[in-house]
Amino acid sequence: MNIVGLGQRVRIYTGEAAQWQWKPLFLAVLEFLRAEGAAGATVTRGVAGFGANSRIHTAAILRLSEDLPIVIDWIDTPERVERLLPQVCAMVAEGLVTVENVRIAQYSHRPIRVDIPEHLRVVDVMNPHVMQVRPASSLKELVGLLIGRDYRAVPVVDEADRLVGIVTNSDLVERGGLAMRLELLSTASRDIIQHELEALTANGRTAADVMTRDVITAQPDMSVLDAARRMADRHLKRLPVVDASGHLLGIVSRVDLLRTVAQGYPAPEQPSEPHPPPRLVADVMRRDVPAVSLHAPLSEVLDAIVSTRLNHAVVLDEQRHVAGVVTDAEVVRRLGEHPGIITSLMRRAAAVPSADQATAADLMIADVITTRPEVAMEVAMREMLAQRRKILPVVDAQGRLLGIVDRFDLLRAIAELSASLG
């Protein structure tokens, strides 16, 4: 897995005699981390030390049977640390656990499976900590919960916590009267956000008025592979997870499934099991890339951004080298909430202010990450997740644009590949 860049180190200080479920703690922690696809961990035995009980433990020749200090170092991605750390802390009944940021310069590893192992269940990868609202919740409350978040939807549950609907970004715009998508609103000024919240209060609509009622869901014991296929077939970004009675248990997102593959969860050791063929970026990239030149005027930039579902446009120099990327949110962040710009980005007919001389070069994000067509698909996937990017432009050896991949392209490819092996 490619974890080069920002990582986190978890350090556990404990003793040799510490146990977890009748097993040495250090061994239990290692087995847990390995089973969860962690990048790696190392156990070090100390020669002396003392902890909260103030007793000195030493490896002096006459005291080798004492409870010697043990240090477990685990280095991984911040996302995986966040997911696994609560369980690790629960295992450490006696000891100290610290977390610190580290810069990872290199990490080499064995090849892993690119498909989703059949034995994985949705309950293994879902997020059980789900923001939720009641049917009577106001839209102002609902939007307030979603502004600035990575997710763009919230499940609606009744008094018994049974799922009755879900409110998505599109629901808020199309039925709720929200003037702009949440990702655009998050970049707007405080005054504009307050104005939108007041407008939602005035219209009096609730979650029940705008929610999607026929929700496509997953069950906790559903295979992750089946969930990936369901999301790819229905073009969904998320699936609420419910039990047999419809109670909300969690949510599994497109990113959760991509991270599952990127982390390389170990599959059952079956030598006869066929390994999937290598899948390259060239096999999954799309060539219809919304692109503009560095000198493209604002009107052309907006047209390119809204021409596809990506809400991105790639900026090219004269030689078709990738110079940057422009997003709808970045345009609003840099130019403000001009009505003409907002309505254009919302795909509504509007005239862009002719007096605005901004070009693509003025609006682009220059810190763009690219990939190559010969790169393995899972490597590109890990880079996308690690850098929190929704798209990756694909370039040749000279940096010229060839195509683009996004999260949906990768999920669909994984679902198709796994299905062909099944």
Domains in the chain: ranges and CATH:
5-104 (3.30.70.120), 122-263 (3.10.580.10), 281-421 (3.10.580.10)
pLDDT for 91 beyond 90: yes
| DSSP 8-state secondary structure symbol assigned to residue 63 | G
Q: What is the mean pLDDT of the chain?
A: 84
Distance, CA of 294 to CA of 168 (rounded, Å): 34
**What local confidence, expressed as pLDDT, does residue 108 receive?**
55
3-state secondary structure of 147: coil
Cβ burial, residue 398 (10 Å; 0-12/13-18/19+):
exposed
pLDDT for 290 beyond 70: yes
Distance, CA of 324 to CA of 301 (rounded, Å): 13
Phi, psi of 295 (to 5 degrees): -95, 10
Residues 6+ apart with CB under 8 A from 325: 312, 313, 314, 315, 364, 365, 368, 391, 393
pLDDT for 42 beyond 50: yes
Residue 7: CB atoms within 10 A of its CB come to: 20
| Cβ(413)–Cβ(377) below 8 Å | yes
* 396 or 378, which is more confident: 396
Q: Confidence band (pLDDT; 50, 70, 90) for 341?
A: confident
Q: For 69-224, where are the E strands, in sequence order?
A: 69-76, 96-104, 153-157, 163-168
3-state secondary structure of 275: coil
Tokens (6 digits) for 118: 């059949």
Instruction: Match 């609103």 to its residue by tokens.
Output: 185
Q: At what angle do helices 254-263 and 377-386 cross, to 10 degrees?
A: 120
| Encoded amino acid at 385, one letter | L
Overall pTM > 0.85:
no
pLDDT for 315 beyond 80: yes
Distance, CA of 241 to CA of 123 (rounded, Å): 8
| Cβ(205)–Cβ(177) below 8 Å | yes
pLDDT for 110 beyond 80: no
| Nearest C-alpha neighbor of 404 from the set 302, 313, 306 | 313
| Encoded amino acid at 237, one letter | K
Question: What number is the average pLDDT over the span 241-250?
Answer: 96
Tokens (6 digits) for 382: 């890990």
Residues 6+ apart with CB under 8 A from 344: 302, 306, 350, 352
| DSSP 8-state secondary structure symbol assigned to residue 61 | G
Phi, psi of 66 (to 5 degrees): -70, 165
pLDDT for 295 beyond 60: yes
Distance, CA of 299 to CA of 277 (rounded, Å): 44
Phi, psi of 278 (to 5 degrees): -60, 140
**What local confidence, expressed as pLDDT, does residue 385 receive?**
83
Residues 6+ apart with CB under 8 A from 116: 223, 224, 225, 228, 257, 260, 261, 414, 418
Pairing of strands 163-168, 153-157: antiparallel
Question: What number is the average pLDDT over the span 108-113?
Answer: 49
Q: What's the start-to-end Cα distance of the chain, in Å? A: 24
**What local confidence, expressed as pLDDT, does residue 419 receive?**
57
Q: Confidence band (pLDDT; 50, 70, 90) for 272?
A: very low
| Nearest C-alpha neighbor of 67 from the set 45, 42, 44, 39 | 45
| Nearest C-alpha neighbor of 312 from the set 330, 328, 296 | 328
Q: How many residues comprise the chain?
A: 422
Please give the radius of gyration of the chain, using alpha carbons only, rounded to the nearest integer: 25
**What local confidence, expressed as pLDDT, does residue 50 receive?**
65
Q: Confidence band (pLDDT; 50, 70, 90) for 260?
A: confident
